[in-house]
Structure 1
Amino acid sequence: MNGPAPGQSVAAEEFHVTVTFRKDGPAVTGTWADSAVALEKFLGFVGSHGSVPGVTITLWAEAGGVREPLRTWTKDGGLVIHREA
């Protein structure tokens, strides 16, 4: 088999948080092995940068080299939960 069946996900190996300052612009990325630490960092970035127009903050899970978004924050859209970690 080549990965999980559609609609299923595998346990994440790493978690990433990206802060993009404008569409297709510069970004800051951090990587953690612990989902709780990554979520704490995500929430910290929302607190420090979430009210800035154009900023997108995303928490990602990565397994087998494939990233899936877990949560995204933008000033205009607020919090979007794609799936739980």
Structure 2
Amino acid sequence: MTGYRVVLRFEKDGPAVTGWWDTLAAAERTYTGWIGLYGSRPAAVITLYEVRDGADRVLKQWPRAADRP
């Protein structure tokens, strides 16, 4: 079974806010919304994962790894 998880961290390796969805569309709406709400925080990292058979695959991450300080 496939699910989708969005993780928000306000600092590297810090506590996480996590949400789970059954559809990619719902997870992407949350991912985009969290970027709008929390993306201006200097150390915030927001990641969208596909979770299939217990394995996580990063679909999107903000900011992109290349753009992080």
TM-score computed with the length of structure 1 as normaliser: 0.73
Query: Aligned-residue CA RMSD in angstroms?
Result: 1.8
Larger Rg computed on CA atoms: 1
Aligned residues with identical type, % of pairs: 36
> Who is 1:19 aligned against?
8
* Structure 2 unaligned regions, length at least 5: none
User: Partner of 2:27: helix, strand, or coil?
Assistant: helix
Structure 1 moving runs of 4+ over 4 Å: none
Letter of the 1:77 counterpart: D
Instruction: Give the secondary structure class of the aligned counterpart of 1:28.
Output: strand
1:40 shift after superposition:
0.3
Aligned runs of 1:59-78 on 2, under 5 Å? 59-74=48-63, 77=67
Q: Supply the distance in 1 between the matched residues of 2:19 and 2:3 (Cα, whole angstroms).
A: 10
Does residue 1:34 correspond to 2:29, yes or no?
A: no
Using the TM superposition, give the Cα deviation of residue 60 of structure 1 relative to its aligned residue in structure 2, in angstroms: 0.3
| Unmatched tracts of structure 1, length 5 or more | 1-11, 79-85
Quick check: which one's helix share is greater?
Answer: 2
Instruction: Name which structure has the greater RCO, CA cutoff 8 Å, separation 6+.
Output: 2
Q: How many positions carry a matched residue from both structures? A: 67
1:9 aligned partner: none
Q: Give 1:25 deviation, angstroms.
A: 0.4
**2-side partners of 1:57 and 1:50: how far apart?**
8
Whether 1:54 aligns to 2:25 is no
Per the alignment, in what secondary structure is the counterpart of residue 37 of structure 2?
helix
Q: Does 1:43 align with 2:28?
A: no
> What's the CA shift for 1:64?
0.7
Aligned equivalents of 1:22 and 1:53: distance in 2? 8
